[in-house]
Amino acid sequence: MPRGSGFLALSRFFRLSTFARSRDGDRTGDAMFRPDSFAARAAAVALFLLPLGSGAQPAPEEDAVVVTASRIEQRLRDSIPHTTIITAREIRESGAVDLPTLLRREAGFESSQNGGIGTTSSTFLRGAATNQVLVLIDGLRVSSLTTGATALDQLMTDQIERVEVVRGNVSSLYGSGAIGGVIQVFTHRGRGEPRASVDVGVGEQGTHRLLAAYSGASGDTRYSLNLSHYATEGFSAQSPANSLTTNPDRDGYRNLSLSASLAHRFSTEHEAGVRYFSSDGRVEFDNVFAASVNDQHTADARVGALTFYTHNRIAPRWLSRLSYSQGRDQFDGFLNGAVTSGTKTRNTQLSWQNDIALGSDQTATAGFETLHQSVQSTTAYDRSGRDVTALFFGYQGRYGRHALQLNARNEDYSDFGEARTHYAGYGFDLTEQLRFTAASASAFRAPTFNELFFPFGIGNPSLRPERSRSFELGAQYAAGPHLLRVAVFHARITDLINPFPIFNVNNAVIDGVEVSYRGSLAGADVKASLTLQDPIQHTATTHVQLIRRSKAFGSFGIARSFGPWRLGAELLASGRRFDNHIVTFSRVELAPYELFNLTARYQLGKQTELSARLENAFDKQYTLAHGFNTAGRKLSANLSHQF
């Protein structure tokens, strides 16, 4: 096949499929996300790149090390919970600006956003809601005490070295909120020869980006400093069709982010360090209930984390990890420049973890954590914070072909009492490449201050935590560059908290299967995921699909190098979903969608690289949240140089 013929075939294919959708209408249920439809489009993406050039980048590291799945270091292929890692190389090559965009390619992960970049986003993992998914930055909780959610929309990829995603109930490892799983973000670390780098980017919609970084190691001291700025004029977050007072102007976003780390190894047994992260965003947005079409709505959103830590090998078999951290989540709203609301959460955490090697393949873990969450707000809560004390235990062992992971955690909350959780996982290596896993686990979510103590009689101080029980069966194939993981899961969430009026009433059952693959095929690097699930909410009289969650969604990405070039293509697809109408709050259906993104990189020299990303290449109109617009086709380019 001549070069370029794959791209022509791909363009023709997508034009035809888009034309067919426009004739048939959007109310096609999940038919537009039939497995054969998704597979056909994924195959078309592959046709674009497989004929190009010869030779690919090194295959993904099948022996990559992760820590989030068990709180101790282990090979990715040895983790019993379904875990994936997004490496620094993948982050760089994706061209994604923020974390929500990066995570949309991962199995089990869905997101929605109230407009463009920087606006409020929602996160769904295995059907669990935003405040049922725990987000950590370098091991620290940074969620809001009032909403229970973490501002993922303010986390820029410029400050992220890697991301680990663990799916399923893992509250026994990290506490409240880990019903759907844990997303842990690791900021940059220093290593190797000292070096500086600069990245400059521009794009449509008045977008520009600047990153300056310096990192490395001198003797036993490692350091890293990264400063980035991002700004875009954006697009209107809402359509005037929703309301006569919706402002039709563009809603822009600006962000200034900083990450820094410093670590010193005093000997082979002792190390101490400090890590810092901050992200300050200014976002413009629309309000469907605005008093005037000329109203200007803006908000300042800030996320921060500061951690001091020591790692000490007290004895040959005893490793102690002690850390003291403070996390910040702050949101200030403005109307025409005047303050309308303000909320600031501070999470102060002390953690002491002890890993005891019982043998060459067995490790026991024990530790405790204290967490103080405080809030300052223009809302008059009758309490200013809560205290949490936790004890946790774990065991990781291997007996020939058999692997075992056991975890237990007990937490004591000052406002509602105790919560106990567990995890029991088993792995069996049928062959060196093929592994089967099984797990049973429990999790919970502590009520937020909005749910417990919102004034005017809205809050309900007698709320119980949401609780979940889950079961999972998995199979894994790991050989050479290939890592394929299939997981069948069942989760039941009880005592769901009704948003208004606020009380424990609903239950949910989420059954599903998810598949993730990363590897090398025909000289190209491939990453793919597929999730089929049934996220159903049960009340006394109804059984309905949970809002903004699809029964079928997935992604397919492929990249290949030839000479100084590296080309990539990415397909994202989701079936129909439901949402609440932005004005009437009645239940409405959101149509299926398929998005196609392209990336290209060109090595100008040993230390200079030019890259480009074309998002939504076919300018697809789609909806993630009812009443809110999504980005159309957008081209951006970036020039990076390392000194």
pLDDT per residue over 76-91, tens digit each?
A: 999 999 999 999 999 9
- The closest alpha carbon to 69, from 508, 477, 472, belongs to 472
Q: What is the pLDDT of residue 14?
A: 34
**Is 469's pLDDT higher than 80?**
yes
**What is the pLDDT confidence band of residue 419, given thresholds at 50, 70 and 90?**
very high
**Is 138's pLDDT higher than 90?**
yes
The C-alpha atoms of residue 461 and residue 416 are separated, in whole angstroms, by 8
**What is the pLDDT confidence band of residue 33, given thresholds at 50, 70 and 90?**
low
Q: What is the pLDDT of residue 539?
A: 77
- For 545-582, give one letter per residue: b (16+ CB within 10 A) or e: bbbbbbbbbbbbbbbbbeeeebbbbbbbbbbbbbbbeb
**Is 477's pLDDT higher than 60?**
yes
Q: Which residues contact 350 (CB under 8 A, 6 or more apart)?
A: 323, 324, 325, 369, 370
CB 279 within 8 A of CB 249: no
Going from N- to C-terminal start, the domains of the chain cover 5-642
- What are the two backbone dihedrals, phi and then psi, of residue 25, each rounded to the nearest 5 degrees? 90, 175
CATH topology for 5-642 is Maltoporin; Chain A (2.40.170)
pLDDT per residue over 287-331, tens digit each?
A: 999 999 999 999 999 999 999 999 999 999 999 999 999 999 999
- What are the two backbone dihedrals, phi and then psi, of residue 565, each rounded to the nearest 5 degrees? -95, 150
Among residues of the chain, what percentage have pLDDT more than 90?
84
Q: What is the pLDDT of residue 253?
A: 97
For the record, the structure tokens of 381 come out as 């809560």
For the record, the structure tokens of 390 come out as 């936790």
**Is 16's pLDDT higher than 80?**
no
Q: What is the pLDDT of residue 534?
A: 96
**What is the pLDDT confidence band of residue 348, given thresholds at 50, 70 and 90?**
very high
Q: How far is CA 407 from the centre of its chain?
A: 24
The C-alpha atoms of residue 572 and residue 616 are separated, in whole angstroms, by 10
Q: What is the mean pLDDT of the chain?
A: 90
Q: What is the pLDDT of residue 13?
A: 34
Q: How many residues does the chain have?
A: 643
- The closest alpha carbon to 65, from 78, 46, 54, 53, belongs to 78
In whole angstroms, how large is the CA radius of gyration of the chain?
24
Amino acid at 28: T
Q: What is the pLDDT of residue 30?
A: 52
Amino acid at 127: G
**What is the pLDDT confidence band of residue 35, given thresholds at 50, 70 and 90?**
very low
Q: What is the pLDDT of residue 10?
A: 33
Number of H helices, E strands in the chain: 6, 34
Q: How far is CA 410 from the centre of its chain?
A: 26
Mean pLDDT of 494-518: 92
**Is 586's pLDDT higher than 50?**
yes
pLDDT per residue over 48-62, tens digit each?
A: 555 544 444 444 445
The C-alpha atoms of residue 411 and residue 172 are separated, in whole angstroms, by 10
- What are the two backbone dihedrals, phi and then psi, of residue 243, each rounded to the nearest 5 degrees? -160, 145
Q: What is the pLDDT of residue 284?
A: 96
